Amino acid sequence: MSDDISVKVFRFDPETEKEGKFVEYKVPYVDGMVVLDTVRYVEEKIDPTISIRWNCKAGKCGSCSAEINGRPSLMCKTRVEEVGKNITVAPMAAFPLIKDLVTDVSKNWEIARKIPMFTPKEGLEKPWRINPKDVERSKEFKRCIECFLCMDVCHVVREHFTPYFGPRHIVKAASWDMHPLDGLDRSRMLNEEGGMGYCNITKCCTEVCPEHIKITDNAIIQEKERAVDRQYDPIAMLIKNRRHK
């Protein structure tokens, strides 16, 4: 690889511009560098006004999400040698743009507040005992770092957002629904208020998840099946109706 790489970074300043544009920078290549290093180089050596969000540089805080050569990715986990010497870095398109690469992801906190938290089953005696095997399923979802790359890539979120909660939030609901001591069922609200029916299982969310969570197979499809069982299973409906008599 030659010494210089070309990094085109999307620049937008809401105080001076109506729309943004890509600006090209030349950055010296160093073995092992990641895309975040290239943007940090621009910030330190070329233009300190560039706005980026990052924190851990270890793929764990979920802050440095962006679209690298069009693919939603973490800047700190994407090596330059993987993407080549001509790189474009754009902000996540699914969220409102604040400045340069920084987007407003606060909509996610609004959705998160709507989903009921872990609620223990009624009558559980303490101390709670759990067979480690029974927590395996929900443990996968706890790996989520809230990078929102799955939300960014999802065409339903991009095109509609409301009323669809989106993949990250189904993962969160599933982490509690599949906990052996949880006493709630969130599938119905995911379907009704959360618009889960809009998801047509394209699996793009699973492809971009940096934590390799099987979002579609293990969370979304499971929650969809639960919702169908709970809402349309005639036997379940009969039992439920009897209980209410």
Q: Which residues bind ligand F3S (CB under 6 A)?
A: 153-154, 156, 167, 199-205, 216, 220
Take residue 166 and report the two structure tokens written for it: 């989106």
Q: For residue 163, say if its preceding peptide bond is cis, omega within 30 degrees of 0.
A: yes
Distance CA 240, CA 95 (A): 41
Q: Does 62 bind ligand FES (CB under 6 A)?
A: yes
- Using DSSP, state whether 215 is helix, strand or coil: helix
Q: Among residues 64, 89, 105, 115, which is the contact residue for ligand FES, using CB under 6 A? A: 64
> Which region among 51-59, 80-88, 122-130, 222-230 touches ligand FES (by CB under 6 A)?
51-59
Distance CA 61, CA 148 (A): 11
Report the residue number, 9 or 167, with the smaller CB distance to ligand F3S: 167
> Which has the closest alpha carbon to 144: 173, 118, 121, 123?
173
Helices 167-177 and 107-114 cross at an angle (nearest 10°) of 30
Q: Does 144 bind ligand SF4 (CB under 6 A)?
A: yes
Q: Does 145 bind ligand SF4 (CB under 6 A)?
A: yes
Partner from ligand FES, ligand F3S, ligand SF4, none contacting 213, C-beta within 5 to 8 A by type: ligand SF4
Q: Does 57 bind ligand FES (CB under 6 A)?
A: yes
Give how far Cα 20 sits from Cα of 16, 49, 153, Å. 10, 14, 21
Q: Among residues 75, 147, 156, 184, which is the contact residue for ligand SF4, using CB under 6 A? A: 147
> Which has the closest alpha carbon to 219: 173, 164, 158?
173
Total interface residues for ligand SF4 by CB under 6 A: 15
Q: Does 150 bind ligand SF4 (CB under 6 A)?
A: yes
Partner from ligand F3S, ligand FES, ligand SF4, none contacting 199, C-beta within 5 to 8 A by type: ligand F3S
Going by the DSSP 8-state scheme, the letter that residue 236 receives in this structure is H
Range 173-185 burial, b when 16+ CB lie within 10 A, else e: bbbbbbbeebebb
Report the residue number, 64 or 102, with the smaller CB distance to ligand FES: 64
Q: Does 56 bind ligand FES (CB under 6 A)?
A: yes
Binding site for ligand FES (CB under 6 A): 54-57, 59-64, 74, 76
Site residues (vs ligand SF4, CB under 6 A) = 144-150, 167-168, 171, 209-211, 213, 215
